[in-house]
Structure 1
Amino acid sequence: MKKYKPSFNKPSANDDQGVRAKKHLGQHFLTDENIASKIADTLSYEGYEKVLEIGPGMGVLTKYLLEKETEVHVIEIDTESVEFLESNYLHLRGRIHEKDFLKFDLSEIFRDEQYAIIGNFPYNISTQIVFKVLELREQIPEFSGMFQKEVAKRICEKEGNKTYGILSVLTQAFYEAEYLFTVPPSVFNPPPKVDSGVLRLTRKENYTLPCDEKLFFRVVKTAFNQRRKTLRNSLKIFNLPDNLREDAIFGLRPEQLGFQQFIELTQKIEPHAISGK
Structure 2
Amino acid sequence: MKRVRPKKHLGQHFLTDLDVARRIADTVDACPAIPVLEVGPGMGVLTQYLVAKERDLKVVEIDRESVAYLNEHFPRLRENIVGADFLRMDLGEVFGGRAFVLTGNYPYDISSQIFFKMLDNKDLIPCCTGMIQHEVALRMASQPGTKAYGILSVLIQAWYNVEYLFTVDESVFNPPPKVKSAVIRMMRNGVTELGCDERLFRRVVKTAFNQRRKMLRVSLRPLFSERKPADTFFAQEVMTRRPEQLTVAEFVELTNLVAAEL
TM normalised by structure 2 equals: 0.95
2:139 is equivalent to residue 139 of structure 1: no
> 1:168 maps to what in 2?
153
Counterpart Cα distance in 2 of 1:135 and 1:161: 26
The residue type paired with residue 167 of structure 2 is T
- Which runs of no fewer than 5 residues in structure 2 stay unpaired? none
Deviations 1:213-253 (A, max 9, x none): 01100000000011111111111133321212221111100
User: Mapping of 1:7-18 within 5 angstroms?
Assistant: 17-18=2-3
| Residues 41 and 219 of structure 1: CA distance in aligned 2, closer, same or farther (over 3 Å) | same
2:97 is equivalent to residue 98 of structure 1: no
Q: Find runs of 4+ consecutive structure 1 residues off by over 4 angstroms.
A: none
Deviations 1:47-99 (A, max 9, x none): 65210000000000001111114111000000000000000101101100000
Give 3-state SS (helix, strand or coil) of 1:144's partner: strand
Task: Confirm or deny: 8 A CA contact 1:173 1:207 kept in the other structure.
Answer: no
2:53 is equivalent to residue 68 of structure 1: yes
> 2:178 maps to what in 1?
193
> 2:36 maps to what in 1?
51
Counterpart Cα distance in 2 of 1:29 and 1:151: 19
> 1:212 maps to what in 2?
197
Q: Structure 1 residues 259-268 or 55-64, which shifts more?
A: 259-268
From 231, 236, 243, give the equivalent of 2:221. 236
| Aligned residues with identical type, % of pairs | 52
Give 3-state SS (helix, strand or coil) of 1:37's partner: helix
Give 3-state SS (helix, strand or coil) of 2:103's partner: strand
| Residues 189 and 197 of structure 1: CA distance in aligned 2, closer, same or farther (over 3 Å) | same
> Once the 2 structures are TM-superposed, how far is the Cα of residue 45 of structure 1 from its aligned partner?
5.3
Counterpart Cα distance in 2 of 1:22 and 1:46: 32
- Which runs of no fewer than 5 residues in structure 1 stay unpaired? 1-15
The residue type paired with residue 37 of structure 1 is R
> 1:113 maps to what in 2?
98
The residue type paired with residue 233 of structure 2 is L
Q: Structure 1 residues 131-140 or 207-216, which shifts more?
A: 207-216
The residue type paired with residue 139 of structure 2 is R
Task: Confirm or deny: 8 A CA contact 2:141 2:162 kept in the other structure.
Answer: yes
Task: Confirm or deny: 8 A CA contact 1:73 1:95 kept in the other structure.
Answer: yes
> Once the 2 structures are TM-superposed, how far is the Cα of residue 164 of structure 1 from its aligned partner?
1.0
Give 3-state SS (helix, strand or coil) of 2:28's partner: coil
TM normalised by structure 1 equals: 0.90
Q: Give the paired residue count.
A: 258
Give 3-state SS (helix, strand or coil) of 2:97's partner: coil
Cα RMSD over matched residues?
Answer: 1.3
Counterpart Cα distance in 1 of 2:132 and 2:80: 24
